[in-house]
Amino acid sequence: MAVSAAAKKFAGQVSQLLKKHYPDAKCSLNFSTPLELLVATILSAQCTDERVNLVTRELFRKYKDVAAYAEAPPKDLEKAIQSTGFFHNKTKSIQGCCETLLERYNGQIPQDIGKLVDLPGIGRKTANVILGTAFGIASGVVVDTHVSRLSQRLGLSQEKTAEKIEQDLMDQFPKKEWIVLSHRLIQHGRKVCAARKPSCGKCPLEAICPKVGVEGKG
């Protein structure tokens, strides 16, 4: 899609303000290996990162590699991750993913988005998180609820689905900014631009934000 010069200029302003106020933004999930990030990202669905970090502190001590997850009794893994919610499905996703990694990739995580999204339990958002945060590969922009909300409020996208919002962001921002852009938007969404009551009065983007869909716009 062709993007106007004005749209790219606005995206540049957004990028600079976010960079100024969140210069060190990074993934809030704790991990030390790509596998740990993969597992943590699966667990983060419908769960806070704080809760995931509490659970993975012990989980990562117990399960050291892909084979450990794949071969674990499902009931044991379910018990270990139960407090993250939806633990039956998350256990199936983790074990299915790890079994496939053993079968196809000798237990290694492929650095290719097409291969990643083909794994059980891995969607495009999770694949972008793994590639961008664990490997430094800009495969796209991670679109979670924060990024989706801010993209619409800032007028960066009018789309409703994560895939189309991601494409709009990829069209407007240079590829070198894709990874850190999502981290900064997520941090801004958590600290300032909340879902129910955004703190527009103390927002560093207020001067340029069109506040699309914000009630009162104050």
pLDDT above 60 for 218: no
Check 90, 125, 168, 211 and give the catalytic one: 125
Measuring CA to CA, which residue among 17, 8, 19, 10 is closest to residue 179?
A: 19
Q: What does the CA dihedral 181, 184, 185, 189 come to, rounded to 10 degrees?
A: 170
What pTM was estimated for this model as a whole?
A: 0.92
Q: Are residues 127 and 40 in the same domain?
A: yes
Give a yes or no: residue 184 inside a domain.
Answer: yes
Interval 2-54: pLDDT, tens: 789 999 999 999 999 999 999 999 999 999 999 999 999 999 999 999 999 99
Q: Are residues 131 and 52 in the same domain?
A: yes
Q: Are residues 94 and 20 in the same domain?
A: no
Give residue 2's pLDDT: 78
pLDDT above 80 for 138: yes
Q: Are residues 40 and 73 in the same domain?
A: yes
* 144 classed as catalytic: yes
Interval 48-104: pLDDT, tens: 999 999 999 999 999 999 999 999 999 999 999 999 999 999 999 999 999 999 999
Structural domain span for residue 106? 34-135
Here the tokens at position 41 are: 């990202």
Q: DSSP class of residue 39?
A: H
Check 49, 92, 115, 144 and give the catalytic one: 144
